[in-house]
Amino acid sequence: MPGADFRRVLPIDAALGVAVGSLAWASTRWQQWWDDGRPRGGPPMRMGGGPPFRRPDPNLVSTAWSLPWLIGVGIAVLVVGLALRRVFPRSAYLAVVAGTTAFLAAGGPYGPALLAPALAVLALADRLPLRAWLPWLAALPVMMSAGFWRQPYGGLLDAAVLPAALFGSAAVILPALFLVLRRSRRDAEAREREAERDRYVYAERMRIAREVHDVVGHSLSVINLQAGVALHVLDRRPEQVAASLEAIRSSSKDALAELRQTLDMFREDGPEPTAPQAGLDRLGDLVAAVRAAGRNVDVRTDGDIGTGGDIRAGGDIGAELPAAVDHAAYRIVQEALTNVVRHAADAPASIDIARRDDRLLITVSDHGPVVRPEKLLSGNGIRGMQERAAAVGGRVDVRPRPGGGVEVSAVLPAVTMPVDA
């Protein structure tokens, strides 16, 4: 134990030991006080030493242990043990048990003296792990039976010795058990908090991974498609190469800006985001970038989410939607278009967005080649779309179309979901 703690606890425990020793000594004077104060000629009331909870029989009590000085020695030893119980818990425990045993064997009464072993066991439980101090409790039944040693055969023939040893030891251990239970509960709560922090960190990492995957994956797919177009027309129509390179430049610039904004949102020391997360109001820019690469994308809207027909950048398609739902809807459409660009060759794609009461319905489909159903279950992008939808209380289904291609269907809540109390 560090010196500062030693100097702090030693005076407190020393004072506590003196107090318990004083109570134990006072309990030995109780019988004499009672006998001196009882009415003359009345029945004797033996309230002093001997077996607990009953009057000892003078005819059966041996005087071999009747040594007044042994009581004083026992009290002195247990006082020293209590003073050192938090400095040297094992040695102090042995000293307290030895002192209490001598006190009881010399005729001291069961009572305040038992506070000493209870405090010593409490110090063991506080300073040591359970497996380190549990075997030391084997000395308690021997200590509790010391009050019977003055009887014939060391009290072994007394029917009360076994209950006194067991129940007395249990009473001494009880405060330490409460401490162990409290510590176990505190440790369990700490482990639960740590597990909750780990789950939160994992969820945050997955959210960052989804954001980076959607931004980088879509942008690189579009850039790759535009670069392929530039290479294709390089010899035949050189004048279109400039347009493809400009589209590549614009796509990469937008991707870098969005990636920087996304990462800044997750940095503790980063600046506060100056722009909201991407939502359906940016769907026009998303579709325009895909169309600039030569892909035909048809967009249809229905309900109170837009004006119908084509979608303009900066429109009101995501108006009145919860921010989390608006962002999830945009990322689902973005990832679905990324999969179209990657896997649907030159096939056209269509986007259908409709609002029905409290639901937002999104369908992204293409007319590409036939896809095996088991292949749809192996992509991180599809799993990311499903996780985004589940996070806002919706769902995403991905299935192959009968005539070829893939259809992505999403159902998201168009209102804020209630939070359980």
Cα 210 to Cα 213, 216, 217, 263, distances in angstroms: 5, 10, 10, 12
What pLDDT is recorded for position 286? 81
pLDDT at position 363 is 92
| Percent with pLDDT over 90 in the chain | 11
343 vs 345: CA distance, rounded Å:
6
What is the predicted pLDDT for the residue at 254?
Answer: 67
Portion of the chain with pLDDT greater than 70, in percent: 67
CA 242, 244, 250, 252 torsion-angle sign: negative
- Segment 184-195 shows an average pLDDT of 89
- pLDDT for the residue 311: 43
CATH topology of domain 204-413: Heat Shock Protein 90 (3.30.565)
Confidence of residue 104 (pLDDT cuts 50, 70, 90): confident
pLDDT at site 46 = 41
With 70 as the cut, is the pLDDT of residue 169 above it?
yes
Q: What is the pLDDT of residues 39-95, one digit of tens each?
A: 444 444 443 455 554 455 555 444 444 567 788 888 999 999 999 998 888 999 999
* Cα(130)–Cα(242) distance, integer angstroms: 77
Reported as a single tens digit per residue, the pLDDT across 300-348 is: 887 555 433 344 333 445 557 888 888 888 888 888 888 887 777 778 8
Buried b (16+ CB within 10 A) or exposed e, 155-178: beebeebeebbeebbeebbeebee
> What is the pLDDT, as a whole number, of residue 67?
61
Average pLDDT of span 369-382: 69
Burial of 21 (0-12, 13-18, 19+ CB in 10 A): buried
What is the per-residue pLDDT for 31? 52
CB-side neighbour CA atoms (13 Å) of 390: 8
Res 421: pLDDT: 35
End-to-end CA distance of the chain: 46
Residue extent(s) of CATH 3.30.565.10 domains in the chain? 204-413
**pLDDT of 100 above 80:** yes
Residue 97 has pLDDT above 90, yes or no: yes
213-263 pLDDT, tens digit per residue, is 666 666 666 666 667 666 666 666 666 666 667 666 666 766 676 667 666
The 3-state secondary structure of the chain reads CCHHHHHHHHHHHHHHHHHHHHHHHHHHHHHHHHHHHCCCCCCCCCCCCCCCCCCCCCCCCCCCCCCHHHHHHHHHHHHHHHHCCCCCHHHHHHHHHHHHHHHHHCCCCCCHHHHHHHHHHHHHHHHCCHHHHHHHHHHHHHHHHHHHCCCHHHHCCCCCHHHHHHHHHHHHHHHHHHHHHHHHHHHHHHHHHHHHHHHHHHHHHHHHHHHHHHHHHHHHHHHHHHHHHHHHHCCCCCHHHHHHHHHHHHHHHHHHHHHHHHHHHHCCCCCCCCCCCCCHHHHHHHHHHHHHCCCCEEEEEECCCCCCCCCCCCCCCCCCCCHHHHHHHHHHHHHHHHHHHHHCCCCCEEEEEEEECCEEEEEEEECCCCCCHHHHHCCHHHHHHHHHHHHCCCEEEEEECCCCCEEEEEEEECCCCCCCC
Kindly report the average pLDDT of the chain as a whole number: 75
Provide the whole-model pTM: 0.51
Which is more confident, 170 or 67? 170
Under 8 Å between Cβ of 283 and 293: no
Structure-model confidence comparison of residues 149 and 380, the more confident one: 149
Q: Average pLDDT for residues 392-396, to the nearest whole number?
A: 89
